[in-house]
Structure 1
Amino acid sequence: MTATDTSSAEEFWEDRYNSSDRLFSGNPNSALIRETSAVTPGRALDLGCGEGADAVWLARQGWHVTAVDISPTALSRGAEHATAAGVADRIDWQQHDLAHSFPEGAFDLVSAHYLHSPREMPREEILRRAAEAVAPGGLLLIVGHAGWPSWSHDHDTEIHFPTPDEVLAALDLPEGRWEVLVKETYDTPMTDPDGRPATRPDNTLKLRRR
């Protein structure tokens, strides 16, 4: 992808997903499991759901999930995963370009994992809209990359990965109406392209709407 590309965001992500039979592992994100396992299930919104691993895991825990992605291919794979897991009736798959449209309703959990894109995307605006979608007493969970993988040495040094404090400030939340439950940066274990152990710095921001 170069600066001269004129394809839409949907076309870009469709190309990414169609480049492989499966783009991701099919396993739920560890931060989601860590931060929501003890939470009473209700209505959840999964933003940028990809091939649906998080949505399926939430549905298995008893959540009713609205799973959103820009890519029809990703959503189709997610729906197949949900059917195979026996939770198809608990997940509503919706296509949205979050820069232009957003699912309706209020949710007990709004989850945004790795909502990054090499294409221009109004991430801060999307996350502010995500906060607005949290029902009173509900949770907002934002997980993002905090830096490059440990094996990466030839990358764009101008790309900035926001800290949890920067994400919180950009949300511009009303004073006194939210409680910060988790705000941390940590190393996530992974493997490099050659299959060797590696890490990538990530961060988590977990908030409760009062």
Structure 2
Amino acid sequence: MSDQHEHWQRTYSAHPGMYGEQPSEAAVYAAEVFRETGAVDVLELGAGHGRDAIYLARQGFRVTASDFSAIGLAQLRERADAAGLGDGIRTVEHDVRQPIPLPYRSVDAVYAHMLLCMNLSTQEIRDLVGEIRRVLKPGGAFVYTVRTTEDAHYGTGKALGDDIYEHGGFAVHFFSPELVDILATGWELRERHSFEEGELPRRLWRVTQTLPRH
């Protein structure tokens, strides 16, 4: 088990439902994009305890929610069952440094809120986006959010290399505009939207890109 895996297991154990019940603004936006593209089956990477997965299921999508924290996923399943959404959400324990355990072209849309900016190397992020491309159907949308190199924490704390910095046991890979462009190679980059969140405030991008239909 990696240090970051242990960190998240401890965090979810100590703070169940730590992100609250309300969906993120990114999930509300993603649902609109996915509806527009006619999506039915949605994969969420880094679902945590499920506030966004539950929102997407309430919007009528069939959700596969993946995370590497078994504790977070157990909290998600409990909340989904309590909300009567158990049939609409499937949970998968998965480390994104490994191949996504889904078949080729098996989902209509992919969503990842603050997952790509975890403690992943640039190569691991590129490999993950390659896996997303593999499981996504032509014309499908991928919406993700990440912290940027304009963030106040960028360049501070413990430097781990590759634009990764650690604060309080939590490692973040800060995204440059160039990295966003690299990850969009071969896709249609529909939007790179800047927004702020939290007290610092954290500076983030919400990125929307779609696969060509042909």
Q: Same fold (TM over 0.5)?
A: yes
**DSSP 3-state at the match of 1:37:** helix
Match of 2:195 among 173, 180, 187: 187
CA distance 1:133–1:119, change in 2 (3 Å): closer
1:58, distance to aligned residue in structure 2 (A): 0.7
Between the aligned partners of 1:8 and 1:153, the Cα distance in structure 2 is: 21
Please name the residue that 2:97 is paired with. Answer: 99
Which residue in 2 is equivalent to 1:167? 180
1:13 paired residue number: 8
Distance across 1 between alignment mates of 2:99 and 2:69? 14
- The verdict on how the C-alpha distance between 1:101 and 1:8 changes in structure 2, with shifts beyond 3 A counting, is farther
Q: Matched residues in 1 for 2:155 and 2:143: separation?
A: 30
CA contact (8 A) 2:109 2:141 kept: yes
Structure 2 counterpart SS, 1:136? strand
- SS of corresponding position for 1:206: strand
* Matched-pair contact (CA < 8 Å) for 2:152–2:201: yes
Larger displacement relative to structure 2 (108-117 or 96-105): 96-105
Q: After alignment, is 199-208 or 156-165 more displaced?
A: 156-165
Q: What runs of 5+ residues in structure 1 fail to find an aligned partner?
A: 1-5, 193-197
Give a deviation string over 1:113-141, Cα, whole Å, max 9, x none: 11133476922211221122210121011
Give the aligned partner of residue 42 of structure 1: 40
Residue deviations 1:75-130, cap 9 Å, x none?
Answer: 00111121122211001101011212412132111111111334769222112211
Distance in 2 of aligned mates of 1:163 and 1:36: 26
The AA in structure 1 aligned to 2:112 is A
Q: How many residues align?
A: 194
1:41, 1:62 within 8 Å by CA — same for their partners in 2? no
**Alignment RMSD, CA only?**
2.7
| Per-residue deviation, residues 31-75 of structure 1 (Å, max 9, x unmatched) | 221243252340000001001111111101110011000011000
Partner Cα separation in structure 2 for residue 33 and residue 11 of structure 1? 30
Is this contact kept in 2: 1:9–1:119, CA < 8 A?
A: no
- Note the residue ranges of structure 2 that are not aligned, 5 or more in a row: 165-172
Quote how far apart the aligned CAs of 1:143 are: 1.1
1:117 corresponding residue in structure 2:
118
Structure 2 partner of 1:195? none
Q: 1:100 to 1:81 in 2, by over 3 A?
A: same
Given that 1:59 and 1:87 are in contact with CA atoms closer than 8 Å, whether structure 2 keeps it comes out as yes
- CA offset digits 1:136-157 (Å, max 9, x no partner): 1210112111157669996346
Aligned AA for 1:136?
Answer: P
CA distance, structure 1, for counterparts of residue 157 and residue 204 of structure 2 = 17
Normalized against structure 2, the TM-score is what? 0.78
Equivalent in the alignment of 1:61 = 59
Change over 3 Å in CA distance of 1:187–1:53 after alignment to 2? same
Please say if residues 128 and 172 of structure 1, whose CA atoms lie closer than 8 Å, have aligned partners that are also in contact. Answer: no
- Deviation of residue 180 (structure 1)? 1.9
